[in-house]
Amino acid sequence: MKYLLPFAFLLTLWSCSDDSTLVIDPQSTLGVTVEKMKSDYSLLPEEAISFSLDSTALAQYAQPTEKYPHGVMGDDIEAEQLVVAVEGSIYVHTLEEDYLFEDLRPRIYDIDGDGQLEFITIRTQVERGAGIAIYKVINEQLVEYAYVAEIGFLTRWLNIVTMDDLDNDGVVELVWVQTPHIGGILKVAKFNGGEMTVIDEATEQYSNHRGRTRHLCMSVLTEIDGQKFFYLPSQAGDKIVGFSFSNRQLIKEQTIDLEVDFTKPLSEQHPFEGLILDPVNCIDL
Ligand SMILES: [Ca+2]
Ligand SMILES: [Ca+2]
């Protein structure tokens, strides 16, 4: 017997196959792992699992909570637990009582370039709002590895734009919009272990999310002749703005006049040249 993959699985694996009815054999190692992740933990309503492209790493949120009535993605149900699987072994990290994941599913990316995948989350502290927390399996434990400090105020949230080595210096940059609903500030930090500090930010306002929607995939990454660019909507949603990053600075490269639809991925809304699709980390339910 086989079962259909949930939507999130299809989303993450669609680029591996033209078959839109991908199935997974529950007797396979992957099938057993997925079943264990679904049956052994207290899931969120959407039951969204992220799969790395090679399916060696899986991640989901679990342990629902309604302790933080913000509802930024349409309901007040957020998560207290991160559950990941690496090559069939499952690891769990449960947050302290005053934290929660205000997110849909974890991102999976080799952010420190060591060949091992890390797990990138939007994590909120109940009085200081959202930050970014990066987890890694070290010595058989799923531990916090790096973080961006919380915004500092209750109900303030952020959404990730991209993770990539944007300036080709061998170190990954992390880009996000702080408070995308109320005057979004575009920020960039270079990865390092421990607390990550902002290197640059854009003074004009941007937004990669509309309140109470379940679409976080509102940015794209492109590469042309080895140069990386990323694009995201203006705060008003009437433009798409393209940036590069070099010499520790965000550089505005292009403005595209376009009425953005915040209910579908930005990659589908403009014929971006050199588009790098990231189905693992295009978070959209
Ligand atoms: Ca890594
Ligand atoms: Ca870099």
| pLDDT tens per residue, range 264-277 | 999 999 999 999 99
Give me the residues near ligand 1 (ion), CB cutoff below 5 Å. 110, 112, 114, 116, 118
pLDDT at residue 214 is higher than 90:
yes
- The closest ligand to the CA of 137 turns out to be 1
Q: How far is the CA of 208 from the centre of ligand 1 (A)?
A: 26
Q: How far is the CA of 135 from the centre of ligand 1 (A)?
A: 10
Domain boundaries, the chain: 1-156, 164-285
- The closest ligand to the CA of 191 turns out to be 2
- Secondary structure tally for the chain: helices H, strands E: 2, 21
Confidence class for position 5, pLDDT limits 50, 70, 90: very low
- Distance CA(170)–CA(225), nearest Å, equals 17
**What's the pLDDT at 22?**
53
Is the distance from CB of 176 to CB of 184 less than 8 angstroms?
no
Q: How far is the CA of 142 from the centre of ligand 2 (A)?
A: 25
**What's the pLDDT at 107?**
98
- The closest ligand to the CA of 172 turns out to be 2
223-282, pLDDT tens digit by residue?
A: 999 999 999 999 999 999 999 999 999 999 999 999 999 999 999 999 999 999 999 999
71-84, pLDDT tens digit by residue?
A: 999 999 999 999 99
The token pair at 156 is: 């303030």
Task: Specify the pTM.
Answer: 0.92
Give me the residues near ligand 2 (ion), CB cutoff below 5 Å. 165, 167, 169, 171, 173
Q: How far is the CA of 25 from the centre of ligand 2 (A)?
A: 39
137-149, pLDDT tens digit by residue?
A: 999 999 999 999 9
The DSSP annotation for 33-77 comes to HHHHHHHSS-B-TT--EEE-TTSSEEEEEEEEE-SSTT-TTSSS-
